[in-house]
Amino acid sequence: MEEMRAVSVTPGVSGSARLTVHPRPVPAAGEALVRVLATGVCGTDREILAGHTGTAPTGAERLIIGHECLGEVVTGDAEGTFPPGTLVAPMVRRPDGCPACRAGRWDLCQWGNYTERGIRGAHGFMAEWYTESPDYLVPLPPELRAAGMLVEPAAVVAKALSEVTQVRSRIPWPATRALVLGGGSIGLLATLLLRHQGLEVHTLDLAAADSLKARLVEASGARYVAGRGVPVNEVAEQAGNLDIVVEATGAPGMAFAAMEATGIGGVAVLLGVPGAAAPREVDAAWLTRRLVEHNAAVVGSINAARLHFDAALTGLLAVQRRWPGVLERMITGRYPLAQFEDAIRGGSDTVKSVVEP
């Protein structure tokens, strides 16, 4: 039996990540065999490594992590949809048969019995190989070979922005101004996609004004705000009425700050998933009055379905062509499997670290 290396954890056990050996997967009927080119590291991976979340497949003690993946088909699927050499990005969630899942919207799963590769009940992609049904593969053009692992986080952003568009459809004027809280990969992708849509964008992050994050924001024509010690409401007042506020930090206090900053007819979309944090006092009466009087809305969004992956691919290609090189510059570290701990650790100016088998 052929073997492969992978990064796996014992779910629920902090510090259990190891480079482990597994049987090389064999494609079932109709599946494709994919060679992994790169797997991105994100906050969810770090939560799993800390033992806060994650579930191994049924009957397994360990979980192969990683869900932001770029791969290349080695053995094509039976229908010939993905011939050898095709670049692909896999989707993460697998449906459970609920009405939403049957409608292709497994991101809105009602029953909650879904699995998620690299997260919940199914092995992920921080490995050398994986097999997959063509139903959950997105073909990528060669021009995304250097940054195709960004398709999954971009799909999360594309889903959130589509939700914002639907909520704002009740407002009789177009969105023109947005604030993005957070300069990680989700925040930067939101900045780029909003700028491509023609919005004036202000992006706030703790990194310094001369940091890589600042330069990436400014490359798209957005305004970067080095936000250490700068109140969000102060940024909002300077910017003007905010039609869209994207919270992408995961800090509980920033979720409330996003709601407070949302302007008349605006939408605050919460993408960050907070961990444990100290209690914070909130002036609930003032915040409620502001949201009501501004006809504002708050939307929570997570995961993505195929239509969002397709939208993400379209958006990333547009960004790549409009601002050449900006996506590649978001990849701030490339590490072999044996150095996965360095990829996870990152650094002060890390945007996206990837592991490359």
Look at residue 38 and give its three-state secondary structure: strand
Q: Which mean pLDDT values do the consecutive 10-residue runs of the chain (357 residues) have?
A: 95 96 94 97 94 96 98 87 95 97 97 98 98 96 97 98 97 97 96 98 95 97 89 92 96 90 97 73 88 96 96 98 97 96 86 96
pLDDT of residue 80: 83
Print the domain residue range for 171.
155-300
Residues 84 and 159 in one domain: no
Residues 89 and 123 in one domain: yes
pTM, to two decimals: 0.95
Residues 249 and 339 in one domain: no
Residues 231 and 254 in one domain: yes
pLDDT of residue 344: 92
Residues 13 and 125 in one domain: yes
Residues 166 and 71 in one domain: no
Residue 81 domain flag? yes
pLDDT of residue 3: 96
pLDDT of residue 276: 61
CATH of the domain at 71: 3.90.180.10
Q: Are 290 and 87 in contact (CB under 8 A)?
A: no
Residues 8 and 133 in one domain: yes
Residue 93 domain flag? yes
Residue 273 domain flag? yes
Residue 218 domain flag? yes
Q: Which two tokens stand for residue 102?
A: 């049957």
CATH of the domain at 289: 3.40.50.720
Residue 339 domain flag? yes
Q: What is the pLDDT of residues 77-117, one digit of tens each?
A: 777 889 999 999 999 999 999 999 999 999 999 999 999 99
Q: Are 31 and 135 in contact (CB under 8 A)?
A: no
Residue 276 domain flag? yes
pLDDT of residue 137: 97
pLDDT of residue 315: 98
Residue 315 domain flag? no
Residue 145 domain flag? no
- DSSP-derived secondary structure for 245-307: EEE-S--HHHHHHHHHH--TT-EEEE-----S-------HHHHHHHHHHTT-EEEE-----HH
Q: How many domains is the chain partitioned into structurally?
A: 2
CA 331 to chain CA centroid, Å, is: 14
Residues 205 and 295 in one domain: yes
pLDDT of residue 155: 98
Pairing outcome for strands 63-64 and 68-75? unpaired
Residues 169 and 81 in one domain: no
Residue 329's nearest CA partner among 158, 200, 214 is 214
Residues 346 and 291 in one domain: no
Residues 49 and 133 in one domain: yes
Residues 112 and 167 in one domain: no
Length of the chain, in residues? 357
Tell me 222's DSSP state.
P
